[in-house]
């Protein structure tokens, strides 16, 4: 059983007991979307690119060189498949906070996200948090990389003060890479001055 992902990616493999021969069930992505596909490659077969399987709730028997996927829908799931799906962890939750230009100060409106994150984390025992900092394109890339890391570390510090376990939080700064809104160089953009927080 696998969640849909990028072409050739095998995400969240789960062994199914009692299956008659190898098979897989393709599910939605963690965020509930159904984009993506899975490439099934068998080196014994003549097709080096393998067969592409796509579509949510698609079951495929992997016997032979031409797997034939069959859409079963949620109503067509077997009892053991339903049980495994019910045992899957909840999908990651994402929070975005924005910053005052050239600072690690949260912009107005983002302070409330700290409280929302606190409530969500406490309701999700054993969760881990990834904090990724970004900047807009104003300033030199090296400076922005450092600033983005400081922003991520600032939010981590705030969370630790609230009682979040330090070892459950990782931080990364990515500077002006991966802009949320594409802009030319030296362009202020409040949507790009942010941290993205992923709770999983």
Structural domain boundaries in the chain:
2-86, 93-199
The model's pTM is 0.70
What was the pLDDT predicted at 71?
87
What was the pLDDT predicted at 165?
96
Q: Splitting the chain (200 residues) into consecutive groups of 10 residues, what average pLDDT does each group show?
A: 42 41 76 70 78 83 81 86 81 95 96 92 92 98 98 97 96 97 98 97
Fold held by 93-199: 60s Ribosomal Protein L30; Chain: A; (3.30.1330)
What was the pLDDT predicted at 6?
40
Q: Are 107 and 24 in contact (CB under 8 A)?
A: no
Nearest CA to 200 among 119, 128, 122?
128
What was the pLDDT predicted at 167?
97
What was the pLDDT predicted at 46?
79
Nearest CA to 89 among 117, 128, 38?
128
- For residue 105 the two structure tokens come to 């100060």
What was the pLDDT predicted at 147?
98
């Amino acid at each position: 059983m696998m969640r849909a992902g990028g072409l050739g990616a095998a995400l969240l493999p789960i062994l199914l007991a009692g299956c008659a021969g190898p098979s897989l069930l393709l599910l939605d992505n963690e965020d509930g979307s159904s984009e993506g596909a899975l490439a099934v490659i068998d080196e014994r077969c003549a097709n080096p690119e393998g067969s592409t399987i796509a579509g949510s709730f698609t079951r495929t028997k992997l016997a032979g060189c031409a797997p034939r996927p069959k859409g079963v829908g949620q109503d067509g799931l077997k009892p053991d498949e339903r049980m495994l799906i019910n045992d899957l962890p909840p999908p990651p939750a994402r929070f975005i906070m924005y910053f005052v230009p050239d600072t690690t100060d949260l912009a107005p409106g983002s302070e409330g996200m700290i409280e929302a994150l606190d409530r969500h984390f406490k309701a999700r025992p054993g969760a881990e948090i990834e904090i990724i900092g970004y900047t807009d394109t104003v300033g030199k890339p090296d400076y922005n990389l450092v600033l983005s890391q400081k922003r991520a570390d600032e939010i981590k510090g705030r969370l630790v003060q609230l009682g979040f376990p330090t070892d459950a939080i990782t931080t990364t700064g990515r500077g002006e890479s991966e802009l949320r809104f594409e802009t030319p160089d030296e362009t202020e953009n409040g949507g790009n001055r942010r941290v993205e927080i992923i709770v999983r």
